[in-house]
């Protein structure tokens, strides 16, 4: 019996030692920045700023599952937090789940109808061809003190673009540019419409004007490259794709475009 007890104690010691080693290895496997952020969350569990920092860390590292998990932890603590619903919607959108992003923005607005949430939801409605985009756009236009006229008009243009009414969309993007000639997103969407209408020369002229205003507009050079490619101007297309990559070395579409020309 004494011999059995000795074996049993040895087994327990080995098991505890093994568990401790596993914990140490796990701690070593966690990046230093993540561990520091987790420690801060543990120390200050009610701090929304620290929780957001941890979520942002996972977001920046492309770990959307963990970022969403941490966001859900925050929402369980405060189900009426419009801020974390907004964060959750953004994470879903960036991770390619538009439907869930829409649901989260709708929830955020039901808690606190901030203008920025309405703009975000309106844009997503537009991209999914949901006519509610036009209702939200009109609400933004009629809201006193919202200062969201250009965003509302842009949402309408976006809706008609995705709905296939390209010329109608162009008219709205033109209005955006009339209000603010530096609105690069309006130039981009107008050029996409012209590109879809096979009006490549006109699209080029529009984007050339845009990059004169903002010469660091990477998407501008990319779309100029697309137009030149359609016009069988290989040299000009390559040059513009390369310019886009000089501004943003991680521009995946520009990299893929250059691969079509055998350039890695």
For 22-81, write each residue's pLDDT tens digit: 444 445 567 888 888 898 888 888 899 999 999 999 999 999 999 999 999 999 999 999
Average pLDDT over residues 200-224: 98
Other Cβ atoms less than 10 A from the Cβ of 13: the count is 10
Average pLDDT over residues 242-248: 97
| pLDDT, greater one: 90 or 10 | 90
pLDDT at 223 over 90: yes
Q: Which of 31-45, 128-142, 162-176 has the lowest mean pLDDT?
A: 31-45
Average pLDDT over residues 189-198: 98
d(CA 241, CA 218): 9
d(CA 18, CA 36): 25
| pLDDT, greater one: 3 or 106 | 106
With tokens 């987790």, the residue in question is 38
Q: Identify the pLDDT of residue 256.
A: 96
For 23-40, write each residue's pLDDT tens digit: 444 455 678 888 888 988
87: nearest Cα among 38, 43, 54:
54
């Amino acid at each position: 019996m004494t011999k059995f007890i000795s074996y049993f104690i040895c087994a327990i010691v080995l098991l505890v030692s093994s568990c401790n080693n596993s914990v140490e290895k796990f701690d070593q496997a966690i990046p230093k920045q993540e561990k520091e952020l987790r420690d801060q969350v543990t120390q200050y569990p009610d701090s929304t700023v620290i929780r957001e920092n941890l979520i942002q860390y996972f977001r920046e590292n492309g770990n959307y599952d963990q970022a969403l998990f941490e966001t859900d932890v925050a929402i369980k603590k405060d189900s009426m937090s419009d801020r974390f619903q907004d964060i959750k919607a953004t994470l879903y959108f960036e991770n390619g789940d538009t439907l869930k992003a829409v649901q989260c923005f709708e929830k955020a607005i039901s808690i606190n109808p901030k203008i920025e949430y309405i703009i975000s939801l309106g844009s997503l409605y537009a991209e999914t061809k949901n006519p509610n985009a036009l209702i939200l756009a009109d609400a933004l236009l009629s809201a006193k003190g919202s200062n969201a006229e250009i965003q509302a008009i842009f949402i309408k243009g976006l809706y008609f673009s995705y709905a296939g009414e390209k010329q109608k969309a162009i008219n709205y993007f033109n209005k955006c540019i009339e209000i603010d000639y530096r609105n690069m997103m309006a130039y981009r969407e107008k050029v996409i419409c012209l590109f879809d209408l096979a009006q490549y020369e006109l699209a080029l002229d529009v984007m050339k004007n845009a990059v004169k205003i903002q010469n660091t507009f990477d998407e501008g050079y990319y779309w100029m490259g697309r137009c030149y490619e359609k016009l069988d101007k290989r040299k000009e297309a390559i040059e513009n794709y390369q310019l886009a990559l000089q501004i943003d070395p991680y521009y995946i579409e520009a990299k893929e475009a250059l691969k079509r020309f055998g350039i890695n």
